[in-house]
Structure 1
Amino acid sequence: MNDHVLDLTRTAWKQAHGDLEAIGTWLLHRDGPLPCLVLKPRNAQRHDQFIPCVVLQKNAWVWSEAIGDGAEAARTACEFAGALGLDTHNSTNIIRVASIIRDHIGDLLSIPPMPMEREVVGEATVTDERGRVTEGEIMARV
């Protein structure tokens, strides 16, 4: 079993940046969902078409211009640019990746807890004193 799973069908937000897309989502981990920012090529839809570039919420500080680790952010931006299919010999691409991440740090920090999935576990029918019938589903969080 994988320790980490990334389900890009469950998102908090998405933002297009030309040929790239920034996504706020959750990395599913055995210890619970971890809020994260994912960069991917905008035109890639299937998981085998791209390598997701993930910034965990707990590592957002690295990208801060005030208190971050500029060297680590630059190294990571270069790795991400390569994974996204961008020319890493062109510094504009590395700066672009870092800028997209920095632009979304506030969004990353405000990702709420992942909503629980719900499953129908039963049905209920209620008849009031006037004979009106109301039907509904009983849901459980799974």
Structure 2
Amino acid sequence: MTDRTDVSDRYRQGMITRRSVLGDAHVDRANANETPFDQPFQRLITEAAWGTVWSGSHFSKRERSIVTIALLAALGQDDEVAMHIRATANTGATKEDIREALLHVAIYAGVPAANHAIKIAKSVYAEMEASAGAEEVTK
């Protein structure tokens, strides 16, 4: 729903980065569900989060993924944790990376937050592995 004729370079870069991290299907769903009410928010996160922070050159996408998951887990943002765990397939962050990040969450943000995020991660990884197995069967 974003007016595609009036987009900044940062928005364009944000969409490229967002797609590379979250995948086309996720971004296409988000765009299809965009309304005039949330359009300014969608533009903001595309430009700021994806076009600035995630598009920066200092951290790799793997490092950004690890930091993001730890922060989201510490904040109890369950849906976002799950989404970013799925995105590790595109960022290069491994299960071991995420396990270590969640150990840090336990120490610095609390055991309950880490425990819940570990439960989410285990569930998402199981879904990802089942999906990958199903794809292998259909090949």
TM-score surpassing 0.5? Answer: no
Q: TM-score, normalised by structure 1?
A: 0.29
- Answer 1 or 2: higher relative contact order, Cα 8 Å, separation at least 6: 2
Larger proportion of strand: 1
Larger radius of gyration: 1
